[in-house]
Structure 1
Amino acid sequence: MNGPVIDYQAVFNALPGGVALLTPDLVYADANEEYFSTSGRSREQVIGRYLFDVFPENPNDPGATGMRNLYASLRRVAATGERDSMALQRYDVEHPDRPGVWEERYWSPVNVPVRAADGTVALLLHRVEEVTELIRARGDRAGGGRAAVLEAELYTRARELQEVNERLRQAHAREREVALHLQQAMLPAPPPLAHHQAAVRYRPALGALNVCGDWYDLVDLADRHRTAVAVGDVVGHGLRAAGVMGQLRSALSAASRVADGPARALEVVDLYARSIDGAESTTAVSVFIHWTSRTLVYSSAGHPPPALCGPDGTVTFLDQATDPPLGARPEHVSRPQAQTAFAEGSVLVLYTDGLVERRREDIDTGLDRLADSLVRHHTADSETLADALLAHLIPAAGITDDTALVVLRL
């Protein structure tokens, strides 16, 4: 049975609360009639303009935090894709007909992400309920008594909570910066390889602490006819993840130099990971490139499969030797490995899940995007191809998980 045809624009305009739609850059895309009425601004004064050009903070109140709190909330929603219900805010508004005259206003905002078809944040829904009259009415009825005191206490507690949140944000930002410096120190540019030069990239998550668990490693083995390349992803984030990452990366690099293949190297690191707090459930994949026989031998510990793109643009995912993540099994079990031939001029791509995984989306969709991008750009040199993959696969709004990428032309 067919239902009625719904005019969503009419529904939007009829909403009883003020609602605005903002781009991730905080430019007004649309707003409903209640929003214009409540704010005292016309559509022409609002749409297409930057939020804080339309509603700047009161310059006469040096202690005002409304704009900073709202900006932080909206940027957080854009970066994380999670809704944010803000505490009661005092955000004064300049009188529309009397420049320089500011009206004391109280608002209860909620900011919600609106996602595009690919899962990225396309718009920010900013809903505001004005509670100025409620606060004033309660104060008047109480003659400035208990109700007014309670409202003042409520506002004071809200300001204190916002100040605590701001201090926490600053502490997280400092930890993020330190962790990123440590990450960069442990992920230097790879040394020149005997056969081909690889391109490597590391991209941290935008505006989040979800950084510093990913790594890459490339090393020519002692016989000079083989190269070991690996990527991995530690569960967790921040300084602790960076420390665990450094230990596992070094362990796998060392094991690869003496192991007869990638499966054996991962088995050694699997045993080592059990002695490291925070290393459990780490994923990793290792590929040994046999240059003389033009063969790839690989093994994966729960990691997304490397992609091999042939000179003709055919993409194959190396997914025939996948086992659970490091430290996931209670007892030691031999890990599988598989091999495949490659043609000269092929491209090998290893990456971590931040490149292909998106919230509320099947992993196969991300792998298809990677394959499409490889087909489109596979004739480019390694450095150009690495940049193209990041540009094509990472949303403009950024990612909520860090990403490591290795591109090697075979």
Structure 2
Amino acid sequence: MNGTPIDYEAVFRVLPGGLLLLSPEFVIRDVNETLLHRAGRDRHQLIGRYLFDVFPENPADPDASGTRNLLASLERVVATGERDTMALQRYDIEAPGRPGVFQERYWSPVNSPVLDADGRVRLIVHRVEDVTEIVRAGARDHGDRERMAAELYVRAQELQELNDRLRASHARERQVVLALQDAMLPRPRPVGHHRAAVRYRPAIGALNVCGDWYDLAELPGDRMAVAVGDVVGHGLGAAGVMGQLRSALSAATLVADGPARALEVLGIYARSVEGAESTTVAQAIIDWTTHTIAYSSAGHPPPALLHPDGTVELLDRATDPPLGARPEHVDRPEATVPFTDDAVLVLYTDGLIERRREDIDIGLARLAGSLARHRGADAETLADALLAELLPPGGATDDTALVVIRL
């Protein structure tokens, strides 16, 4: 580093994903270029105005709930001082220059507090990804993956423009990278009536971070989708790619028939995102009604299923190459495994198990041993134990993302 001061305002302007800075009273204090572009608004139309005056509910939609849901999330942030990750929202917005004419839009929102020295909420960072085209493409035709890919390509080109601008900003300090990572990953929260323990541990070193992610989503019925992924590379570039892929997979999961189909859509989308090639992803869909787990992996280390008797089953019967590794589309594999009550499902990235000059089977054996030793622990305690036992004492040289769910 050359010691040049970082222009955080300039970094804010070009970050991928729409960003609003809100006061605790939900008045808009600042906005980045991505959100202006997505909303079709000028800066002077937003700054200093109450959020829900600028973005009112669609009065023609009797089922509209976007305003109510967003307001409840923002109020939770102010009350708790903790980040709140919302489920995918339909929140229509007025067409630019056409008051009263609303356009159907779908968003993936996260609300994060900025605290003062006394721990009070000073600002709220409202971050959204517009996933409208992904949802529409999937809803129109689950089977036509190539048509979905063509529509996703348009979105990828727009996001790539922002990512290129991000790469050109020379603010590559670790603090900025970790702040961006923190804003993109969801906080632990109940999914339906189930709860997962999640952990993210950055790698040691200034910029060797920001390729790993996790995501959880509630699905119709008593089901949960959980995924972990790892983008090749590090720093702000990897963070931008990570945010795009996480949002795309979250949207695809809502309309795909299962994890294999969701990863197929993500793989086609990844072809149009520079830096997404060779990304590894694993996704599992847990169904508590049938007591089964459907899973698929794109080059990722296998999820681990800890049975109540202490045996550990590696879910490795549906593994395929990483995203973008094949020149032509091939259907991805999917497998299903039963589970019993009180089993534990663990998904993780390679920082947890891989070591240089060591066979991966040794790391997997370490993981299985640690799981067996702590099989009676609750999810939060087990997650902490895995990190304490498996990460090197001085810190890992790669990111680690970890999700633990007691079934």
Answer yes or no: is 1:233 the counterpart of 2:230. yes
Q: What is the identity, as a one-letter code, of the residue corresponding to 1:224?
A: G
Return the match for 1:393 from 376, 390, 401. Answer: 390
Q: Could you tell me whether the CA contact under 8 Å between 1:208 and 1:400 is conserved in 2?
A: no
Return the match for 1:200 from 198, 201, 206. Answer: 198
Partner deviation per Cα, 1:89-136 (whole Å, 9 max, x = no partner): xxxxxxxxxxxxxxxxxxxxxxxxxxxxxxxxxxxxxxxxxxxxxxxx
Compared CA separation, residues 387 and 172, structure 1 to 2 (3 A): farther
Answer yes or no: is 1:252 the counterpart of 2:249. yes
When Rg is computed on C-alpha atoms for both structures, the one with the higher figure is 1
Q: Could you tell me how far apart the structure 1 residues matched to 2:277 and 2:205 are?
A: 26
Compared CA separation, residues 259 and 397, structure 1 to 2 (3 A): same
In structure 1, the partner of 2:290 is 293
Alignment of 1:305-320 (within 5 A): 305-320=302-317
Q: Could you tell me how far apart the structure 2 residues matched to 1:327 and 1:373 are?
A: 33
SS in 2 for 1:240: helix
Q: Could you tell me how far apart the structure 2 residues matched to 1:383 and 1:367 are?
A: 21
Answer yes or no: is 1:335 the counterpart of 2:327. no
- CA positional deviation for 1:188: 2.4
In structure 1, the partner of 2:276 is 279
In structure 1, the partner of 2:403 is 406
- CA positional deviation for 1:206: 1.2
Stretches (4+) displaced over 2 A: 171-175
- CA positional deviation for 1:367: 0.3
In structure 2, the partner of 1:224 is 221
Listed as ranges, the gaps of 5+ residues in structure 1 are 1-170
Listed as ranges, the gaps of 5+ residues in structure 2 are 1-168
Return the match for 2:186 from 177, 185, 188. Answer: 188
Return the match for 2:213 from 199, 212, 215. Answer: 215
CA-atom RMSD in angstroms: 1.4
Q: What is the identity, as a one-letter code, of the residue corresponding to 2:279?
A: T
SS in 2 for 1:197: strand
- CA positional deviation for 1:174: 5.1
Q: Could you tell me how far apart the structure 2 residues matched to 1:377 and 1:178 are?
A: 36
Partner deviation per Cα, 1:262-290 (whole Å, 9 max, x = no partner): 00000000000000000000000000101
Q: Could you tell me how far apart the structure 1 residues matched to 2:185 and 2:316 are?
A: 26
Q: Could you tell me whether the CA contact under 8 Å between 2:173 and 2:206 is conserved in 1?
A: no
- CA positional deviation for 1:191: 3.1
Aligned residues: 239
Q: Could you tell me whether the CA contact under 8 Å between 1:194 and 1:224 is conserved in 2?
A: no
Q: Could you tell me whether the CA contact under 8 Å between 1:357 and 1:366 is conserved in 2?
A: yes
Q: Could you tell me how far apart the structure 1 residues matched to 2:279 and 2:223 are?
A: 25
Answer yes or no: is 1:243 the counterpart of 2:228. no
Q: Could you tell me whether the CA contact under 8 Å between 2:172 and 2:235 is conserved in 1?
A: no
Q: Could you tell me whether the CA contact under 8 Å between 2:189 and 2:196 is conserved in 1?
A: no
Q: Could you tell me whether the CA contact under 8 Å between 1:172 and 1:209 is conserved in 2?
A: no
Q: What is the identity, as a one-letter code, of the residue corresponding to 2:274?
A: D
Q: TM-score, normalised by structure 1?
A: 0.57
Q: Could you tell me how far apart the structure 2 residues matched to 1:273 and 1:190 are?
A: 27
Q: Could you tell me how far apart the structure 2 residues matched to 1:374 and 1:232 are?
A: 21
Alignment of 1:7-406 (within 5 A): 175-221=173-219, 223-406=220-403
Compared CA separation, residues 172 and 388, structure 1 to 2 (3 A): farther
Partner deviation per Cα, 1:28-57 (whole Å, 9 max, x = no partner): xxxxxxxxxxxxxxxxxxxxxxxxxxxxxx
Q: Could you tell me how far apart the structure 1 residues matched to 2:206 and 2:313 are?
A: 33
Q: Could you tell me whether the CA contact under 8 Å between 1:190 and 1:217 is conserved in 2?
A: no
- CA positional deviation for 1:172: 9.6
Q: What is the identity, as a one-letter code, of the residue corresponding to 1:394?
A: L
Q: What is the identity, as a one-letter code, of the residue corresponding to 1:370?
A: L
Q: Could you tell me whether the CA contact under 8 Å between 1:244 and 1:276 is conserved in 2?
A: yes
- CA positional deviation for 1:173: 9.5
Q: Could you tell me whether the CA contact under 8 Å between 2:227 and 2:347 is conserved in 1?
A: yes
In structure 2, the partner of 1:77 is none
- CA positional deviation for 1:208: 4.0
Q: What is the identity, as a one-letter code, of the residue corresponding to 1:201?
A: R
Q: TM-score, normalised by structure 2?
A: 0.58
SS in 2 for 1:199: strand
Compared CA separation, residues 172 and 384, structure 1 to 2 (3 A): farther
Compared CA separation, residues 174 and 331, structure 1 to 2 (3 A): closer
Q: Could you tell me whether the CA contact under 8 Å between 1:215 and 1:404 is conserved in 2?
A: yes
Q: How many percent identity over aligned positions? A: 74
SS in 2 for 1:400: coil
Q: What is the identity, as a one-letter code, of the residue corresponding to 1:195?
A: H
Q: What is the identity, as a one-letter code, of the residue corresponding to 2:343?
A: S
Q: What is the identity, as a one-letter code, of the residue corresponding to 1:258?
A: V
